[in-house]
Amino acid sequence: MKKLSLFVIVALTLTLVMGFSAAGTAQDLKVGMVTDVGGLGDESFNDSAWRGLQRAQEDFGIEINVIESNTMTDYMPNLSSFAEQGYDMVWGIGFLFTDAMGEVASMYPDVKFGIVDAVVEGPNVVSATFKEHEGSFLVGVVAGMATETDKIGYIGGMETSLIQKFEAGFRAGVKAVNPDAEVFVAYTGAFDDPQAGKELAFTQYDQGADVIYHASGSCGIGVIKAAKERGLYAIGVDSPQYHLAPAYVLTSMIKRVDNSVYNEIKKLYNGNFEPGVQVYGLDNNGVGIYRPQAENMVSQAVIDKVDEYRDKIMNGEVVVPSSPDEL
């Protein structure tokens, strides 16, 4: 009996030790993030991703770090740097990481990688994509109902299929509630040039636009500054951007990059990392609209119309175009 009792005690002790060891391993996770050239402080895409890492750090006690890229040629060495330092997971924020991510992920098969807005195949890569056109449709509804000139602007960053998704959804939302409205479209060709965004916004305001929606990274900071200087309106993107120019930002299309990053880190923390494509849309809180009632920027009638179309999109009654060709 004494031998049996001793065996039970030892077995229980080993179980506890192994349990604490496994928990300690999870808590010792290290996750790195590499920004695109917009960097932290873009008040948009990169900042949202960083919030996701910070929330994961707070909830799971993991170690996090960030490297900001100055040029696109930095992407591959920055990703590799985290992998070489023994990080368990490394994120590349933006579709411009596609090629670099594919190469680095194959070089470090024991490291998990995450990319936002692109699909990279590999057993150690998770790709977070979004239905940006759905959220953009909703802010298009706001713009279409808020305009007094029936002239509205859209300013994108680089003219790629991804950024055209924002354009297509926005234009469709405008036309759904205001068929007579004219939508001006322009692209800065970059995501890190606020002055270019400002100049394009001035051009569209001079053409009669009184509301401009941007999907242009930190270029949008310039768009919002232009709105304030002209006393007109802008619509933000990715993160709530009202604070950049109170009384001049009607609303923002929220793209929950933070949720996608947080969710995939959580899976890794819990031991069930899933490679492949993870899609975030209206149905799983991946995109949406900032509710601006607190600032009294839009009427309840506009909010009601947004909610009406949100429900129609989610139940399939309205199918939002994802490219200009589908409009």
Q: Is it the case that residue 14 has pLDDT exceeding 70?
A: no
pLDDT tens, residue by residue, 221-234: 999 999 999 999 99
Looking at the fold, whether 227 and 277 belong to one and the same domain comes out as no
Looking at the fold, whether 70 and 215 belong to one and the same domain comes out as no
Looking at the fold, whether 86 and 230 belong to one and the same domain comes out as no
Count of domains observed in the chain: 2
pLDDT of residue 311: 96
Whole-structure pTM value: 0.84
Q: Is it the case that residue 8 has pLDDT exceeding 90?
A: no
Looking at the fold, whether 218 and 304 belong to one and the same domain comes out as yes
pLDDT tens, residue by residue, 37-82: 888 988 878 999 999 999 999 999 999 999 999 999 999 999 999 9
Q: Is it the case that residue 26 has pLDDT exceeding 80?
A: no
Per DSSP, helices labelled H in the chain are 2-27, 45-60, 75-84, 98-107, 132-146, 161-177, 194-206, 219-230, 257-269, 300-314
Looking at the fold, whether 216 and 144 belong to one and the same domain comes out as yes
Percent of the chain residues past pLDDT 90, beyond the cut:
81
Instruction: Answer yes or no: is 99 within a domain.
Output: yes
Separation CA 153–CA 267 (nearest Å):
40
Give me the mean pLDDT over the 134-143 stretch.
97
Quick check: 207 and 257 in contact, CB under 8 A? Answer: no
Instruction: Answer yes or no: is 116 within a domain.
Output: yes
CATH code for the domain in which residue 114 is found: 3.40.50.2300
pLDDT of residue 27: 56
- Cβ-Cβ contacts under 8 Å for 239 (sequence gap 6 or more): 43, 44, 45, 47, 48, 252, 254
The better pLDDT of the pair 313, 24 is held by 313
Separation CA 86–CA 20 (nearest Å):
22
Looking at the fold, whether 14 and 116 belong to one and the same domain comes out as yes
pLDDT tens, residue by residue, 79-129: 999 999 999 999 999 999 999 999 999 999 999 999 999 999 999 999 999
Looking at the fold, whether 192 and 228 belong to one and the same domain comes out as yes
Looking at the fold, whether 61 and 165 belong to one and the same domain comes out as no
Looking at the fold, whether 163 and 238 belong to one and the same domain comes out as yes
Q: How far apart are the first and last CA of the chain?
A: 80
Instruction: Answer yes or no: is 318 within a domain.
Output: yes
By residue range, what is the domain housing residue 56? Answer: 7-130+257-284
pLDDT of residue 73: 95
- Cβ-Cβ contacts under 8 Å for 75 (sequence gap 6 or more): 34, 36, 69, 92, 96, 97, 100, 101
Looking at the fold, whether 251 and 267 belong to one and the same domain comes out as no
Percent of the chain residues past pLDDT 70, beyond the cut:
91
Instruction: Answer yes or no: is 1 within a domain.
Output: no
Per-residue HEC secondary structure of 178-224 comes to CCCCEEEEEECCCCCCHHHHHHHHHHHHHCCCCEEEEECCCHHHHHH
Looking at the fold, whether 83 and 30 belong to one and the same domain comes out as yes
Looking at the fold, whether 316 and 179 belong to one and the same domain comes out as yes
pLDDT of residue 239: 86
Q: What contacts 24+ positions apart, CB below 8 Å, involve 78-82?
A: 78/34, 79/34, 79/104, 79/113, 80/104, 80/107, 80/108, 82/32, 82/34, 82/111
- Per-residue burial over 26-45, b if 16 or more Cβ lie within 10 Å, else e, is eeebebbbbbbbbbeebbbb
Q: Is it the case that residue 19 has pLDDT exceeding 90?
A: no
